[in-house]
Amino acid sequence: MSAERFLDLHHGDRPPLLIPNPWDAGSARVLESLGFEALATTSSGFAATLGRLDYAVMRDEALAHCRQIVAAVDVPVSADLESGFVDEPDGVAETVRLAAETGLAGCSIEDATGRDEGPIYSLEHAAARIGAAAEAARRGSDRIVLTARAENHLHGRDDLADTIARLQAYEAAGADVLYAPGLRRLEDIREVVRSVGLPVNVLAMPGVPPVAELAEAGVRRVSVGGAFAYAALAALVEAATELRDHGTYGYADRAAGGGRAARSAFGAR
């Protein structure tokens, strides 16, 4: 699915693009069957399918996962590529180049280092990484939409001015979409939207205003991260605990609904 079509979904007189995050081919097919126009992978949700925590997936594994999701659906797919799996700009560019070859319509690169000490790259280095990623995203025939992520608010750095400065630098470096996960207050989200000239993505999480209010604030895209994957795991724990502790089958009603969703989605192609 073309990057141009994906980028078009961020613009025009339309509600924000709701882009949920499947964690495997089956969940991708179900979400597509529910009418979502685009999907995005989730690094934490995919890691959970491997029995790992977030940031414990290697680049080759992530790219293979991207190929599986892209092959499963007919809507544009963007990939959560974490920090690009490397520190240096040239390595990030190579990650984006390889991602484009999988058939993805988009990908995101974040400015988190993955290290407890110094969790966020310096602004200068982070902007250089986005610049290299943007150049790779536009090189050759495999155009890909680049989302640049400022991770301050997921790492205890609630500095809105620095977040905005970072997003502005990433816009200048060539990003297509901007994203500062962890923002909850509507006034902060409004300030981000006012301060940049590119579509802004917001992460749906507790405390975030509903989509209608985000739309009024000018937000162009809303994603859920690993929330749907973890909601599925929570349902598994609830069903298994009922069976183990009570020997009853109350989960069967919910399972029947899941079975109907699977039959509808998997038989649609």
Evaluate whether 18 touches 10 at the Cβ level (below 8 Å): no
The model's pTM: 0.96
SS3 category, 36: coil
Q: Where are the domains of the chain?
A: 3-225
pLDDT of residue 213: 98
Residues 20, 223 contacting (CB under 8 angstroms): yes
Asked whether the beta carbons of 147 and 201 are under 8 A apart, the reply is: yes
> Residue 172 corresponds to which tokens in the numbers above?
């200048």
**Which tens digit of pLDDT belongs to each residue from 118-131?**
999 999 999 999 99
pLDDT above 80 for 201? yes
User: Does position 144 have pLDDT exceeding 80, yes or no?
Assistant: yes
Closest by Cα among 132, 159, 181, 155 to 21: 181
| pLDDT band at residue 1 under the 50/70/90 scheme | low
Specify the CATH superfamily of domain 3-225: Phosphoenolpyruvate-binding domains (3.20.20.60)
- Amino acid, single-letter form, for residue 50: L
Please tell me the predicted confidence (pLDDT) of residue 269: 56
Instruction: State the Cα–Cα distance between residues 79 and 103, nearest whole angstrom.
Output: 11
